[in-house]
Amino acid sequence: MLKRFGLMAILFFAFTVAAFAQTGTIKGFVYDKSTGEPMIYTNVFLEGTKIGVQTDLNGYFSIRQVPEGTYTIFTTVIGYDTARATITITRDKIETKKLYVSHTDRQLKDVTISAHKTEQITQIKAGSMTITPREMKLLPSAGGEPDIAQFLQVTPGVVFTGDQGGQLYIRGGSPSQTGILLDGVTIYNPFHSIGLYSVFETDAIRSVDVMTAGFNAEYGNRTSAILDIRTKDGNRNNLSGKVSVSPIMARAMLEGPLVKPKSQDGGATTFLLSVKHSYLDQTSTALYSGLGEPFKSGLPYSFTDLYGKLTFSGSNGSKLNLFGFDFDDKSKMFYPNTDSSIAAFHWNAVGGGTNFVVSPGNSDALISGKFAYSKYYVDYDEANFRTRNSGIDGFEGAIDFSYFLPGYSLIKYGVEVSGYHTSLDYINSSNVNTTLDRRSTQGALYAVFRKNFNDKLIIEPSLRLMYYSSISKISPEPRLGLKYNVSKNVRLKAAGGIYTQNIISTKNDRDIVNFFTGFLLSPDQEIKTPDGDVLKSNLERAYHVLGGVEVDINRVELNLEPWMKDFTTLIELNRNKNTPEDPDFAGANGKAYGVDLSAKYSYKRIYLWGVVSYQHIQYQSVDDHGQIQNYPPPFDRRININLLGAYTAGKKKNWDLSIRYNIGSPFPFTQTQGFFENGNPTIGGIGTNTNTQNGPIGILYANDINGGRLSWYHRMDISAKRRFYLNKRSNLETTFAITNVYDRNNIFYVNRLDNTRIYQLPIFPSINVTWNF
């Protein structure tokens, strides 16, 4: 079946090339003139015609079926000038052109359509949005440090569990069901224990694609969502960077040429290096002790993130990247007013690899690929000596081919191969140990075809064929995206498909809060469903259906998206494992549905963004007594509202003012029914008097999993930024920010034994100073 799929893809490609070989082709790249950075989603047109395309994430464009003659090719993108060049087309020839654009503050009169508008009309974008560093910096940032973790919290369909130990849950899916990619390489834990920050350096990011449902066959081995993060290349022309200091952390980024281009179109070698280190565990007691708990006892969060990248670029636009990363996080949890810790938590992610883009001189195809190795390890030690640790490591390799057809159409196909090793040493609440070790190799073939019918109807069928070696399973996964442009200001869209994954999580749906997230490969042992049947395949599986309507009213963009995900197969650690003989795993299923309404207004100095979301998630599994039970998972936040406003002030536009408000309905939790003596006294060792000494306390949980609800969550953040221009290439930014302005006590943790409560961050003022050069 794999051979047949590959043969069909090759024949389809050959037919397509033959169909368009009778006319000339223009291909090339668009770059930022000052840095040499590729310009993504930039319009490229032939003057005096309706022929045009848009650049991809590499700044690449290809215009096919161009009649013979001489043309003026030009670019349009808001914030940059128009680059023009004259080019002569001859029959059956491919002409290559590089275009360079420069920043401008004035709006050109002939720019009648923005790149964003073109993207809305020609791309399906169902359940998907692209975030840029500029948008991240509009959000009030804790400590004055803009971060993708904070902006993701205001995107449609995303639920955030809090400032401490925060995790993102996207449209009904758990963190293990969301794939996080950094330049194509999987990152297993992108968020630090203090959930305001990710491992990614904002100024090193080129773009972030957030796919919350219905994503196409280019992405696999995840059943809920994808975050695809691409970093920029180093500056080709000048040494530049930034240094930033705040009470929370210090950051630095440096980029520049190692080998400068000999001409504007020449090849170059560049580097980019970023580092950030948090010392909040040391500064919180000294600077914020007057705010009370938890600052008085200290905020025990410390992390260090390192990322480096080398880029070798050729004169024809081809390039090779070498990169590496080391992300490390250490934290503890404390009882208020005591010096004893509840738990110590540590995780580390390291890895490195290469990716490349090739633009063959005799073809308008774009070839890209990757190969990388990464390792993630996490351990969690509780005060009662219960330990948990988990690790996942492996390699990933891929190569794909993209062909840009006339009218914003596309063919893309590729092959992926990866290998993984997972380990787990886990002691559950019944003090029963589970030790597991698994390996697997998997492969995938995929093909995506997008056809644009005169900017009216866009269809995007795609197919992914997954092979999981550890369970000898082939999974065909068809997917489909649609868009119909009723007019330029009203657009209908839909998407759906089948999704599988063989990576499962150790999360327990009974935990009020859980820092520990381990990863496992699907087991080869027999697993039963809630109905008592044996699973036919030990793969997690989901079906997505999503609709939507986009409406532009003057400068307001409205987006309404109802969605549904049917998680027909969920595999989880058996939380009812009370003896070593009990099964390690249990099967479950779930359904999630909801609707998200977002509104965006962006004009001159004003940026407004609002999202109102409703969702309902219901899981089904077996309880302690073998009975089927239905319950909401711990992240089932039914109502979530985010409002953001930003304004650029001052004659020189050197002031940025922003405010954000979030309110969310209560999370569910499993209530405590009672306590019991769990075992014999051991505190005094061999000399313990068992007649007077009690044994350890066990917890009786309520029969209804997550039958209770915590309190509502709400918070307001504000910030003000002032820029001081030192020269043309250097400025100083000072940011004053207040997180949780009115000091709301949002629940973080409740200890079941003594009802001790720990809250999320209280009112948290901070100042940041950044030097950009």
d(CA 318, CA 361): 10
Specify whether the CB–CB gap between 71 and 50 falls below 8 A. no
Q: Is the pTM of this model over 0.75?
A: yes
Domain boundaries for CATH 2.40.170.20 within the chain: 128-670+706-772
- Taking residue 243's Cβ as centre, other Cβ atoms within 10 Å add up to 14
pLDDT at 547: 97
Specify whether the CB–CB gap between 595 and 549 falls below 8 A. no
Question: Residue 298, by phi and psi: left (phi above 0), alpha (psi -120 to 50) or beta?
Answer: left
Mean pLDDT of the 268-292 span:
83
pLDDT at 716: 95
- DSSP SS3 for 756: coil
pLDDT at 285: 76
Domain boundaries for CATH 2.60.40.1120 within the chain: 2-110
pLDDT at 109: 44
Mean pLDDT of the 123-133 span:
90
CATH number of 2-110, picked from 3.40.50.620, 2.60.40.1120, 3.20.20.70, 3.30.429.10: 2.60.40.1120
Mean pLDDT of the 402-417 span:
93
Q: Which of 378-392, 455-469, 543-557 has the lowest mean pLDDT?
A: 378-392
Dump the DSSP string for 590-653.
EEEEEEEEEEEEEETTEEEEEEEEEEEEEEEEE-TTS-EEEE--TT--SEEEEEEEEEEESTTS
User: Is residue 558 pLDDT above 70, yes or no?
Assistant: yes
d(CA 350, CA 182): 12
By C-alpha distance, which of 760, 736, 735, 756 is closest to 747?
760
pLDDT at 659: 95
Which range is most confident: 40-49, 377-386, 686-695? 40-49
For residue 319 the two structure tokens come to 């390039």
Dump the DSSP string for 504-549.
EE---TT-S------EEEPPSS--B-TTSPBPSS-SEEEEEEEEEE
For residue 33 the two structure tokens come to 């003139």
Give the pLDDT confidence of 89-107 residue by residue, as tens digits: 888 888 899 999 998 765 4
Q: Tell me, which fold does domain 128-670+706-772 have in CATH? A: Maltoporin; Chain A (2.40.170)
By C-alpha distance, which of 73, 28, 66, 9 is closest to 47?
73
Give the pLDDT confidence of 216-238 residue by residue, as tens digits: 999 999 999 999 999 999 999 99
In the chain, pLDDT over 70 holds for what percent of residues? 87
Which 3-state string (H, E, C) describes 376-393? EEEEEEECCCCEEEEEEE
By C-alpha distance, which of 394, 234, 399 is closest to 323?
234
How far is residue 97 from each of residues 16, 112, 365, measured CA to CA in Å? Answer: 23, 24, 15
By C-alpha distance, which of 97, 118, 3 is closest to 52?
118
Mean pLDDT of the 321-337 span:
79
Q: Which residues contact 741 (CB under 8 A, 6 or more apart)?
A: 716, 717, 718, 763
